[in-house]
Chains A and B, each alone.
Chain A
Amino acid sequence: MLNSFMSYLGSTVTPGEAGNQFWALIYVLIIFTGVSVAVICMNWLERKALAHFQVRLGPMRVGPHGLLQPIADALKLMLKEDIIPAEADQFVFWIAPLIGLLAAFTVYTVIPFGPSQAVSDMNIGILFMLGVSSLGVLGIVVAGWASNSHYPLIGALRSSAQMVSYEVAMGLAVVSAILMTSMNASGTGTLSMIGIVQAQQQQGVWFIFKFFPLGFIAFAIFAIAMVAETNRAPFDLAEAESELTAGFHTEYSGLRWSLFMLAEYAAMIAVSSIAVTLWLGGWMRPFPNLLHAPAWDFIFSLFPGITFGGLAAIAFIGTARMPSHSFFKIQRIGLAVFAALLGFLALLLLVIAVAGRSADASLAARFREGIDYVYWFVLKVAVFMYLFIWYRATWPRYRFDQLMKIGWKVMLPISIGVLMLTAIWALVEPPLWEWMRAHI
C-alpha cells in the first residue's frame, strides 16, 4: 500500500488514469467531505444572504452570527421523529432520497478541480455528467409516488417534467461548448472535462467569450437551465409553500428530508461546476494569456491568501463590533477564534504562494499550483452559488405552464439556433482567417 501511495505522488494525471485505486479513494473522500462542508456553508450563506436582502439579520444566536446554525439544523433534523405514511411503500420511500443523493454526488467524479485534480478523467466526462444528473430526476419521481398522497405526487410529476424539459436545452448548450473544443490544430474535439479546460487553455480564450456572442448565449442558456434543473427560484413552483400542491418532499421529515436538501445543494454545486468548466475556464486564473509574465503569475497566486485574509479581517471587525455585554462573551471569543483560524489559513496560503513562486517542479511549486487551481475553480463556483441565492431573494416564481413554455418554446429554439450558428461559424472561421490573412 505504501508503494501505491508513493507511486502516485508526482504524477500529472488523475488517479483514475493512473489506475491508482488508493489515491482515487482518497480523492473521493476529500471530495465527499468537501462537498458536504460546502453544502453546510451554503445553507448558512443562504439564510444570511436572504436575510440581508430582506432587511433583517438572519440567524445570530447559534454561534457568532449564526455560524453554527447549520450544525444545529443538522442535529435537529437527525433527532426528529422519522414519520413514514401509513400506506406508503416502505422500500421505495426509503430508497428515494438515496437515488437523488447518489446521482448528485456521483457527478463529482468527473469534475476537474485542476489538470490532474479529478477523481477520474473519463473520455466521455460530459456525457457521464449529463447522464447521471438525469438519474436524479428518478429520485424525485419515486419520492412523490412513495408518499401515497396525491399532492406530493402532482408536485413530483411537475418537478420531474420541469427537470426533463430543461435537460434538453442544457444538453444542447453543452454541445455547442463541445463544438468549440474542436477548434484546435488537430480538429478533434473532446468530451473529457479536463480536455475541455485544456482546449480553452490552448485556444487562449474562455468559451464564454469565444465566437462572441454565441458562447455567451450558450452560457446564458445553460445558466438558466441549471436553475430550472435544480428546482430553484424562479422555477421552484414545486416546492413553494403557498401553492396548492405541496411538493414531493412533503411527507419526508427529519433526516430523510435533509438528504433531499443535501442532494439539491450538491446538485446546485455540481451544475455550477459544469458551467464553470465548460465556459469559464475551469481552474484557469483570469487573463492567462493577456497577462502572462511571471510577475502576474505571482500576483495572481497571492489571491487565495488575500481572500482568506479579507475574510479574516471581516470576522475580526465583526468581533470588534459585538456588544461588550457579558451575554456575548462566548460569541465574541468564538468569533475571534474563527477569525484567527481564517487568518492563520491566509498566512499559510501566502507562505505557500511565496515559497512556490518559481515555475519549476519542486514540491512547493506544485503545491502552490494545486492550491491555485482549486482556488480559482471554487471561487467561480462560489459566484454561481451567490447568484442562486440572489435569484431566490429577488424574483417571484413562474407558473408551471409558463415555466414549461419557456423551456420548450424559448430555450430549445435558441439553443438549437446557437448550436447551428456555432457549427457554421466553426467551419467558416479558419478558412475565413486564412483568406483575410492572404488578402489583407
Chain B
Amino acid sequence: MIAFQNVSKYYDLHTVLRNINITIQKGEMAFLTGPSGAGKSTLLRLMYMAELADEGNIIIEDLDLASLKMSRIPFLRRSIGVVFQDFKLIKNLNVFNNVALALRIRGVVEREARNLTSEALKKVNLRHLADSYPQSLSGGEQQRVAIARAIVADPLVILADEPTGNLDPGTALDIIKLFRDLNLQGTTVLIATHNRELFRGTGKRVFKLDGGTLSGEEVG
C-alpha cells in the first residue's frame, strides 16, 4: 500500500506539493497525471526518499517514511523499482550489467542474477542489445533498459516517471501492457505521465496534480 497523508513539500519559499492525500491499495495500478511542473516527479521522489517531505506522512508497504532510519533507506529502495525520467543508466556498464546491477545490489547470486537479467531484457525486447553501452542506444532503448532494471528484482512497488516519454506509440502501449502484467501478478504500480492516451480505457484510477495540489481523481 502507498499512502500520502497531508504531505507538503517546499523548496525555499516555493510550494511544490501542498497537502497531498492519496491512498493506493496493495496490488493496485494507478496513474498520476498533470502538466509539466505539477509536482509528479517530486511526489515520486518522496516515495523512494530521494527527497524528504516537509509535512505529513508517507507510508509505503507498512513503512512510515518519517520514522525510517537512514540505514534502512537502501532496503526501502530495494522494495521499489523505479523507472527514472532521465533513465539513470551507468555509462561504463553495458545493458546487461546495468540491469543486473539491481540484483547484485540485493546480493542475488551471480547465476540467478544472469538468468533473471536475461528474462527482464526479453520482456522489454532488448536481449539483442545486452552487450551494448547506453550511449550507443536510442532514447527509447535506454528507457527500456531502465524499465528492465526496475522490474528485474520483482519489487513490491513499481514507480515510473514518464516511462514512455521517448517511445513510439506502439512500444509505449507494449510497455504499459508489461506494467499491467506485473500488476496482475500483485505488484503495486504508479505511473506518472502527462500522456492521457496511456491510461485512457484502462479502468485504473488517475490522480490529477496541478500546481502542487491534487486537483481531482478519475478513472481512466
* A, B co-complexed: no
Which B residues fall within an 8 A CB radius of A? Answer: none
